[in-house]
Amino acid sequence: MIIGHDAASYCMSEYDLLKKVIVCEPQYMEIREVINETQKQFKDENIDRKLAMQQHEQFIERLKELDVKVYKLPALEAFPEQVFTRDIGFTIGKTVFVAEMANHLRQGEDHVLKSWLIEEHLPFFDLTTEYIEGGDVLIDRKSIYIGISSRTHEKSIRQLQSLLPHFEIIAMPFQEKFLHLDCVFNILSPTEALIFPEAFEHKEIDMLRSRFDLIEVNDEEQFTLGANVLSIGRKKVFSLPSNKMVNHQLRMRGYELIEVDISEIIKSGGSFRCCTMPLVRE
């Protein structure tokens, strides 16, 4: 179902200049039920909401300082994972696709997004055939990489291919324990990408290596979501200060690192990319 008619969104990559983005404050963030591997490590201490809110606000302020227009969805107590707006939708070309959430704890977050899009008179396509989440969708011009995971099913990938016949859709199987594709693979530029190799079979690594200079994330920094950086264009990248090896490798390649501490938020299994849903990149 397509809503609206005047395109007000545009994304064709993970690395073009970020102009508009959707976020949601972690006002009700908590590990109510363990739904990913990272949460298993922090379920007893759980989330310090006050600290998570402070860290998120620092992140948002840095985005604004860098001339990114930030839109905030209303936070609802029913959705403890709502800070991770990346998963509820994604923009390809001029279309916002609203995702179909797989885990029952997150089902309904997409309705908040749809309500906001309708209020803002922004067009969208509601994906309802099968489960698909934005953390599994990465865009590189006419190529779209989609992770096959417990959150994104192959049927939804086929649906997206039928909706986008002029795009190359590349299905990317990986070890499901890593939740989403963007936890183990992330595109930084037309020629460079971050990868945690242990998540993939040789076939996928060889294919990616033929397309990108792959920057490897080690096991320790995969746990702190070293691949889940946010590129905002012009080789500027948000990254955790603690991921020193990733940050060093990026600096060596000429990237400008914007280091913000969101260590409380990553306890629930997502970092900078997970916390943002781009609407417009130029």
Query: In a structure prediction context, what are the per-residue pLDDT tens digits for the chain, which is 282 residues long?
Result: 444 434 489 999 999 999 999 999 999 999 877 767 776 776 778 899 999 999 999 999 999 999 999 999 999 999 999 999 999 999 999 999 999 999 999 999 999 999 999 999 999 999 987 899 999 999 999 999 999 998 999 999 999 999 999 999 999 999 989 999 999 999 999 999 999 999 999 999 999 999 999 999 999 999 999 999 999 999 999 999 999 999 999 999 999 999 999 999 999 999 999 999 999 999
Q: Quote the tokens at residue 44.
A: 């007893």
Q: Is the distance from CB of 256 to CB of 235 less than 8 angstroms?
A: yes
Q: Domains in the chain, ordered, with CATH?
A: 2-281 (3.75.10.10)
> Are 18 and 133 contacting, i.e. CB atoms less than 8 angstroms apart?
no
Cα distances (Å, whole numbers) of residue 74 to 77, 180, 227 = 10, 24, 28
Cα dist. 103→75, 107, 110, 184 in Å? 18, 6, 12, 20
Across the beta sheet with 143-148, the strand order is: 137-140, 143-148, 168-173
pLDDT of residue 39: 65
User: Measuring CA to CA, which residue among 205, 125, 131 is closest to residue 172?
Assistant: 205
Long-range contacts of 149-155 (CB under 8 A, 24+ apart): 149/174, 149/176, 149/179, 149/180, 149/181, 150/102, 150/176, 150/179, 151/87, 151/101, 151/102, 151/103, 151/179, 151/180, 152/102, 152/180, 153/102, 155/129, 155/130
Q: What are phi and psi of 14, to 5 degrees?
A: -95, 0
The alpha carbon torsion through 252, 253, 259, 263 (nearest 10 deg) reads -90
φ, ψ at 48 (rounded to 5°): -85, 100
Find out whether 260 and 274 touch, Cβ atoms under 8 Å.
no
Q: How far is CA 176 from the centre of its chain?
A: 16
How far apart, in whole angstroms, are the C-alpha atoms of residue 48 and residue 218?
Answer: 27
**Active site members:** 180, 274
Distance CA 181, CA 172 (A): 8
Q: Strands across the sheet with 192-195, in order?
A: 185-187, 192-195, 213-216
Identify whether the C-beta of residue 37 lies closer than 8 Å to the C-beta of residue 177. Answer: yes
196: its two tokens: 């945690």
Question: Looking at residue 3, what is its pLDDT?
Answer: 42
